[in-house]
Chains A and B, each alone.
Chain A
Amino acid sequence: MRKVSRLSRFNIASLTLGLAFLYLPILILVIYSFNASRLVTVWGGWSLRWYHEFFNDRAMIEAAWMSLRVAVSSATIATLLGTLAAVALSRGERFRGRTLFSGTLYAPLVMPEVITGLSLLLLFVALNAERGFWTVTIAHTTLTMCFVAVVVQSRLGSLDRSLEEAAMDLGCDPVRAFVAVTLPLIAPAIVAGWMLAFTLSLDDLVIASFTTGPGSATLPIRIYSEVRLGVKPEINAICTLVIALIAIVIVIASLASKLSSSRGESAAPL
């Protein structure tokens, strides 16, 4: 009997090309951030000059600080609410308004950002809220909550429910069964959800542009206004720092899921 070869030459070629396409541009950006030359395209030797420039750029530093604060607070609120939503949807069986709930919860995943941003701004204006840190945080929470919910819900869906049921048969009330049994098992997914929310918030330009006020620009807003004026080596340095920060976050996330897998559980599906 002839066995069909699983991995053809075409498969290998498309994988290699695909990954190269995904990674080369980022790699080039990082390398050029260490370029000594002012011209972004001419290689003038290795240097940390542009990093120095960034750390002396007060406006940039302030924007970066604002972005970090927004990312940490919105990711934390989104993780709390998103996890609650995931629990309700995967364990709540049927309840009134469930369809509307899951509908509004998942919609921001694909909703064009200009629409979400504009509608939130109009709400803030109508409420007469002062625009700045809190309005951006609320907007980012709304955007990222659904990502957390999807990650946690898919983990809850793959859990063996007889574990919770066993805990309750042994006398736990539902809340205690959840805290003692379910929560530790979905912890890696919650961590992964937080990380995802954090990076999405750090990254967002459009929604932040709509919902922020004068004098409180986030890092993407600053980067965007600089990029519109053309390529600057300092931007390469900032981008490299952001990539490094996100890389650290990913390493922590994967360590967290490793840690829990060493306790006899499989890693989070993200």
Chain B
Amino acid sequence: MSSRRIFARPARFAAIAPYLWMMLFFLVPFAFVLKISLSQTAIAQPPYDPVFDLTAGWDALKTALAALSIDNFRLLISDDIYVFAYVRSLTVAVTATALLLLIGYPIAYGMARLPKSWQAVAMVLVIVPFWTSFLIRIYAWINILQHDGLLNQILLALHLVSQPVVWLSTDSAMYIGIVYSYLPFMILPLYATLAKMEPALEEAAGDLGAPPWQVFWLVTFPLSLPGVGAGVLLCFIPIVGEFVIPDLLAGSNALMIGQTLWLEFFTNKDWPVASAAAIVLLVVLLVPLLLYERLQKRQLEQGR
């Protein structure tokens, strides 16, 4: 037996503890979300009905099971508020991801063309803001975008506008916040594929007479598609469920689903509807989530 295979056996045992942890704290909770999404709101502690009580015996359990219903899901589909929230979440996520790709690609491309020793420095520079707090970064933008904030002061001083522009509580502020927060997630996978690319391919295309834009469209961009896919998924999925950024930067007249869920849960104390909203969100994100899983697995397990 090769030593590689001998090593594998105890390595498998290492999976037990994290496996059990993820089962208990990540998979099992979804069963509770599903169960409570089928319950009714109640003025009680916990605020839903029925509550399963396994000690109460079989008959009590059967009554409880019979009391489950899909009313909450009917409500989600029939009430415009929720439908609009899902549509808005998807629209915002698509727009923001497109913006991120548009802004992130040139930066990643520039990084990949730096001399090797500079590339490491540039990568650290891109990662560091990701380490500083998310909330702080949004707060930094509130500082800049407020009525008499720096941006308006600069615009006024340059005579580009005659009076302060309202930035806060607008969609533009929200998009600035999202692009700012998620930019490293877009740049890093793009950079990873672009840096691995053979420069001779671009040079060959250039030597054969292709103008730079054609070299880019016909050679560079198609070869970078795996990175584009990873970056897009890494941004799109969490943005759909985003709560903090739209809550602090966008107006309150059109809510995203993350905000609606939060509102149902914390303000209306309607746990069943919040759970149903979470289930629907999960179903909406199922395809991108599965795509992301496959990508992640391939990347980590094929080695680099």
**A residues adjacent to B (C-beta < 8 A):** 1-4, 6-8, 10-12, 14-15, 18-19, 21-23, 25-26, 28-29, 32, 40-41, 80-82, 84-85, 87-93, 95, 97, 101-116, 118-120, 122-123, 125-126, 138-139, 141-142, 145, 149-150, 153-154, 157-158, 161, 164-165, 168-169, 174-175, 177-178, 195-196, 199, 202-203, 205-206, 209-210, 220, 223-224, 227-228, 231, 235-236, 239, 242-243, 246, 249-250, 270
Contacts and interface: CB of A to CB of B under 8 A. Distances in A.
A119 B125 CA distance: 35
Interface in B1-43: 2-15, 17-19, 21-23, 25-30, 32-33, 36
B297 interface: yes
B131 interface: yes
Given A113-B241, A122-B36, A168-B7, A92 B139 contact: no
Contacts of B103: 18
A24 to B, nearest CB: 8
A153 B142 contact: no
Interface stretch (B66-74, B79-87, B145-153): B145-153
A174 B281 contact: no
Interface string B266-279: 10000100110010
Interface stretch (B57-65, B105-113, B155-163, B221-229): B105-113
Contact of B106 (A14, A138, A196): A14
Given A22-B129, A23-B129, A119-B33, A88 B199 contact: no
Given A101-B15, A164-B7, A18 B242 contact: no
B4 A115 contact: no
Interface string B236-248: 0110111110001
Contact of A168 (B3, B153, B234, B293): B3
Contact of B241 (A89, A115, A119): A115
Contacts of B234: 110
A97 B22 CA distance: 13
Contacts of A19: 125-126
B167 interface: no
